[in-house]
Amino acid sequence: MNRASNTGLMTIRLTRDNRFPAAGVEVQLTDGNKIYNTVTDQNGRASFNVETPPFYTSQIVSPAAQPFTQVNILISAPGYVSVRVVNLMVFPLTETTFTQNMILLAGSPYGSVRTVVIPTHHLARTPLGELPQAPEREAAPIPTVAETDDEGNVYNRRVIVPEYITVHMGPPSSDAQNITVPYLYYLKSVASSEIYPTWPTEALKANSGCGVPTIKPWDMDTIREKFALVQEAEPFAIAMDIDAAGLPFLQGLTPPAGSKSVEELKQIVSWAQRPFILKGIMTARGAEKALEAGASGIVVSNHGGRVLDHCPATAEVLPEIVDAVGGKMTILVDGGIRSGMDIFKALALGADAVLIGRPFVTTVYGGGEEGVQLYVQKLKAELADTMRMCGAHSLAEIKRSMLFGF
């Protein structure tokens, strides 16, 4: 990937009835004085390559160096409310996605046109005084998040959700001001809308490497560059979204990104210098290739169905993958896991563990630390109840036969 690249991708995803792809919808993008027109494809998608400022401008914070291009979108179809979206931000080498469900004109509360205005990016607004700063007080000691028994075993790990958080108002390595704000405000205004998604991953250092940096299948030189960015943070693992290989945005780069051969993956594994995980595996053959390449683990995932429409559910393909590589590498699975019974099903199908994301965002935002604790307790209670009803006295005793009876 050329660091001077000045192109980003704007993707629009449209649905009808919140589930069916809205094909054939007219989409117009305005970029300054330029106007581009297209229609959504059979999957309800339309994409535009947008000229952006050079990549390096997104590594600094300066009123004179806005690192993104703002575009306006007009979505229209006969019989539906037109949608005008103002000030969408497109960053270099980054895909911006706008998702919209088409609303019928009949009975619509919006009239014939609905306007959605995207607020100006926080880093483009200068008055820090407008941010809800926390009251001045001495920093409280950080609670212990793990307990240790007499033999040194760690157990009963619990999540700590802070009341306030200190935010660095610039790139990680800059001398920008630090400001303390309520944690829920941070989630709403920062974490939920990435501040400059092109920034490096120094944030891992502040969290003692507690994170798994995940990269796209860029060209090999870019992958090596990105690995170098995270090595100092010493994350306990590194992952790759291998199923992003088909994204047109990646294929259109120079040099092109995309699919990786087993030999290329072997090279990538050697660069990682720590456990390497491939996310987006949906076939037994793909899992076998990951094993051959030296990956420590895989994530059976269809990205919530967002990468390829009509993709099978992860529960449908998990047993075949487990039969192929189970016991030879760690197998994780995600996708629609919301309850303890869902966890039981995934483990019974052979997964070593499950991944849950979106529900925790909801619980943190709605209930803070208590919300997370309640959700975890709910998962544990549901899993324990299911295990008792199925005759499993430990996680190791959960078997596929408990689902199908054979």
The answer to whether the beta carbons of residues 69 and 31 sit under 8 Å apart is yes
Both tokens of residue 211?
Answer: 């994170």
Cα–Cα distance measured from residue 195 to residue 276, given in angstroms and rounded to the nearest whole number: 27
Amino acid at 200: P
Which pLDDT band holds residue 330 (cuts at 50, 70, 90)? very high
- The pLDDT-based confidence of 96 (bands split at 50, 70, 90) is confident
- Strand 7-16 to 20-21 pairing: antiparallel
- Distance, in Å, from the CA atom of 242 to the CA atom of 17, rounded to the nearest integer, reads 31
Please check the confidence at residue 239 and state whether its pLDDT lies above 80: yes
Instruction: Look at residue 1 in the predicted model and tell me its pLDDT.
Output: 38
In 3D, which of 249, 223, 250, 253 has the Cα closest to residue 238? 223
| Beta strand pairing call for 7-16 and 45-51 | antiparallel
pLDDT band at residue 205 under the 50/70/90 scheme: low
- The secondary element (H helix, E strand) that includes residue 297 is strand 297-300
319: CB partners within 8 A, 6+ apart: 349, 350, 400
**8 A C-beta contact, residue 398 and residue 392:** yes
222 DSSP assignment: H
Give the pLDDT confidence score for residue 74 in this predicted structure.
Answer: 95
Sorted by where each starts, the structural domains of the chain and their CATH numbers stand as 7-120 (2.60.40.1120), 164-404 (3.20.20.70)
Using CB atoms within 10 A of its CB, is residue 377 exposed (0-12), middle (13-18) or buried (19+)?
exposed
DSSP 96: E
pLDDT of residue 148: 62
Q: What is the pLDDT of residues 276-297, one digit of tens each?
A: 999 999 999 999 999 999 999 9
In this model, does residue 131 exceed pLDDT 70? no
Identify whether the C-beta of residue 247 lies closer than 8 Å to the C-beta of residue 283.
no
DSSP H helices, 95-142, are none
**Phi-psi region at 242: left, alpha or beta (left = phi > 0; alpha = psi -120 to 50):** alpha
Q: How many CB atoms lie within 10 A of CB 285?
A: 12
The rounded distance, in Å, linking the Cα atoms of 282 and 318 is 8
Residue 268 in this model has a pLDDT that exceeds 50: yes
Burial environment of residue 302 by CB neighbours within 10 A (0 to 12, 13 to 18, 19 or more)? buried
Predicted confidence band of residue 137 (pLDDT cuts 50, 70, 90): low
CB 91 within 8 A of CB 197: yes
> Which pairing describes strands 82-90 and 69-76: parallel, antiparallel, or unpaired?
antiparallel
Lowest mean pLDDT among 224-238, 246-260, 282-296, 299-313: 246-260
Q: What's the rounded mean pLDDT across residues 376-404? A: 94
Q: Look up residue 203 and give its amino acid.
A: A
**Structural element, H or E, at residue 332:** strand 330-333
Across the range 6-14, mean pLDDT stands at: 89
Q: Are 239 and 276 in contact (CB under 8 A)?
A: yes
At residue 249, the pLDDT reads 61
The encoded tokens of residue 337 equal 């896991």
Q: Which residue has the higher pLDDT, 121 or 34?
A: 34
